[in-house]
Amino acid sequence: MPCTTLLVGKKATFDGSTMIARNEDSGGTGFAPKKFIVVKPEDQPRQYVSVISKVKIDLPDDPMRYTAMPNADPSEGNWSAAGVNTAGVSMTATETLTTNERVLSGDPFEKGGIGEEDIVTLVLPYIRSAREGVERLGMLLETYGTYEMNGIAFSDLDEVWWLETIGGHHWIARRVPDDCYAVAPNYFNLDEFDLEDALGEQKEHMASADLKEFIAENHLDLSFEGDPFDARQAFGSHSDADHVYNTPRSWYIERYFNNHTYFWDGPHADFTPRSDDIPFCMAPERKVTVEDVKYVLSAHYQGTTYDPYASSSEPLHKGELRPIGINRNNFLSLTQIRPDKPEPIRILEWVTMGSNVFNAFVPFYANVDKTPEYFANTTVKVTTESFYWANRIIAAMADASYAKCKAHIERYQLAVQAEGWKIIKETDKQFEALKHKTNATAIRMQEKANERIAAMVREKTDDLLDKVLRERSNQMKNAYARADA
């Protein structure tokens, strides 16, 4: 499934949080309505059965509660997608990746294995650190195999890890450096990789135990003697499609965070939208904010000749590259694990749904037993009673009149995100002022704050819908200048 992932280490963020964020995008011309819910231990299956692959897996009897972003239509499986558990561990799964023929000839996909549909449900309720997430998923991949290439992110208070699958049963994972961010579109992303660490002390790298033998047997290492091992060259794709679909997204995001570090434009650019060697991670030129994450994961190449909405774009390049903020965005979520807050209120899960160009980022506390109905009630029925569908309707109308609607969208985004922050800060202070800070008290306070935020968002979303509808109605083709008098 097409997606874009952004990971940020704790020393690279504005408040010392670890942050992992991902767009889930539908493939082709379809859409997958999503909802934001809490899965309680009693609702977690003890034997999991995949809808797609039919694999059956017995699960531990002590799952934790966790948030999730499953499909509203369960006919194709659960697709829990992203969430946070009660141990304070977050994951997002998955980023669909690419590979090459040499990998698949040595380790073909496992038709009856696990895939994106399954991974969050199989892993998140049972892990107590980001590293444990890598270990558990690695074990599942080696045991059951997978029928597709995927990238999966894990985070806790201190660490961010990124795992990428290799063929049907192999995998590698790397800890994102604390002072860096990392970008992952839909191709194999890990570049320089320390195999000795991965197969030894595992301080910053991990991998399936027989990876070195697998590489040698299939002649996958394309690095010359003495050069660092390049995992992207060994395990990834090198297709023309990558240069319009994948590499441009890395180019734009890293251009944003490191605009002065390299030349990104012109005939002497260090990296262009078609560069295969854009680094997986970099130290940003300044600290990264939540608002930065929303901006780049909503991007449509603003300020370049590739912007599909710019009136000045060259016709040759306009719409040439696959945008990050695309019509097929299902949702965007970001987990922010804040080190300066008490543990019961530490984690925020920022959520939005529909096409990111036209929606707003909404913060919710993650340590809760339920989520607001406006975000949890999505069904396959189109209705403005649902945050997902309201945003989908707004985007479809505003896209056709971007210049006229842009100001309304920008004011909406600013108002929702500012008011959301305000409610979070007020609730943080209320909890910190309590003399007896129990987890039960924290849960109730956070649920109340989440309901306040949802009510605010619904009011502002309805208002935006009204404004966009008026703009589009006034531009209908059957309009006529003379009015009845």
Which DSSP helix (H) or strand (E) runs through 450? helix 439-473
CA geometry: angle 366, 372, 374, nearest 5 deg: 135
- Of 357, 387, 363, which is closest to residue 295 (Cα–Cα)? 357
DSSP for 211-256, written as a single string: HHHHHHHTT---SPTTSPPBHHHHHS---TTHHHHTHHHHHHHHHH
From residue 148, how far is each of 112, 141, 244, 459 by CA, in Å?
11, 11, 21, 41
List the strands of the sheet with 170-175, edge to edge.
82-84, 90-96, 150-155, 160-166, 170-175, 205-207
**Alpha-carbon distance 464 to 415, whole Å?**
11
**Alpha-carbon distance 402 to 158, whole Å?**
41
Q: Catalytic: 3? A: yes
Catalytic residue, candidates 3, 180, 281, 405: 3
- Of 306, 288, 475, 477, which is closest to residue 397 (Cα–Cα)? 475
**Single-letter amino acid code for the residue at 31:** F
Return left, alpha or beta for 68; rule: phi > 0 is left, psi -120 to 50 is alpha, else beta.
beta
Which residues are annotated as catalytic? 3
